[in-house]
Every structure is written in C-alpha cells, then in structure tokens.
Amino acid sequence: MSVPSDQTIDITGEVCPMTFVRTKLRLERMQPGEVLHVRLHGDEPLRNVPRAARDEGHIILGIVPAGNDHIVTIRRQ
C-alpha cells in the first residue's frame, strides 16, 4: 500500500452485493480527495468493488495482494 489511506474498511466477511454497499457507504462519509483502503476476499468482490467504484466516479489507485486477500485503494471523487 504505497498510498497512505485516510480510512480503511475490511469487507472480507461480506458477500456481494454487500461488499460494495459497505464500500459505497464508507465513501459517502468521506471528503472528496480522501483515500480508502478496502480489504476484500474472493474473486467476485475483486471484480465488482473496483468496477462499481469506477462507475460511481471514484478513482482506483491500486490493487495489491495481501496474503489471501487484496487491498483496493480508492480515491473518493
């Protein structure tokens, strides 16, 4: 995680569509320009969360493996 985060959320225990619902709710409480690290688990959230965040107009700064999980870094727009 090379970009420092303003907030972090762990959704490894969630399943779609709740993975993005929880991410979206957190992003809505953040200020534009703030960065969110989302820890997720599984192929479906790895596909859906970044795509849905982009569809909402946010910027995906990176996706990195973290053990069996991934960290998606999102800049709120």
- Active-site residues, by number, are 16
Q: Which helix (H) or strand (E) holds 44?
A: helix 43-55
Of the candidates 58, 69, 5, 3, the one whose C-alpha atom is nearest the C-alpha of residue 36 is 5
